[in-house]
Amino acid sequence: MTPQVPDVRALYPEPPATFAGQLIYVPIYSSIFYFDSQQTRELSAMLSIHNIDIKKKIELTRVDYYNTKGQLVRTYLEQPLGLSPLETVSFVVAEQDQTGGTGANFIVAWQAQGEVSPPLVEAVMTGTSSAGMISLMTSGKVTRNFGLGRSHQE
């Protein structure tokens, strides 16, 4: 005997407004210590946000850069930015920009209508010196999930 699966439409005569979203923390090492921990080497940083969903668009609602003390340095979006399926957008912190320090970070917020694959959010930091090139990579960490009917506008 096959178990009966309830019709979801019976539970929700009027479908709720559905959207998904997340708040993501991304560490950025725009300055790193070397030698005696008193000297720093500045690095350029590139934050990349990849919409990995092959069918649905996502919308970035926040891309903010914070310094080591947790103070907002720069807001990269003045309005939401849509990313089509498989589209990527990047934001750059120049090597000469020393406002972030050794513990800088980005906060990224995104949302989408319905269920989607969450974006891949990563950062690559690079720099050169007489000794060669240095390259570091970090991945974003989800700090908050937003689901059905809950807005993440803070």
What pLDDT, on the 0 to 100 scale, is given for residue 148? Answer: 54
Domain count, the chain: 1
Q: Which is more confidently placed, 25 or 16?
A: 25
pLDDT at 67: 97
Report the CATH number at residue 128. 2.60.290
Phi, psi at 95, each rounded to 5°: -60, -35
CA dihedral 78, 83, 87, 92 (to 10 degrees): 20
Please tell me the distance from the alpha carbon of residue 46 to that of residue 147, in angstroms, as a whole number. 29
Tens digits of residue pLDDT in 28-83: 998 888 777 778 888 999 999 999 999 999 999 999 999 999 999 999 999 999 99
- Supply the range of the domain harboring residue 75: 18-142
50 within some domain: yes
The average pLDDT across 101-127 equals 94
Any domain includes 108:
yes
Is 12 a member of any domain? Answer: no
The reply to whether 55 falls in a domain is yes
- On whether residue 137 sits in a domain, the answer given is yes
The per-residue pLDDT for 6 is: 47
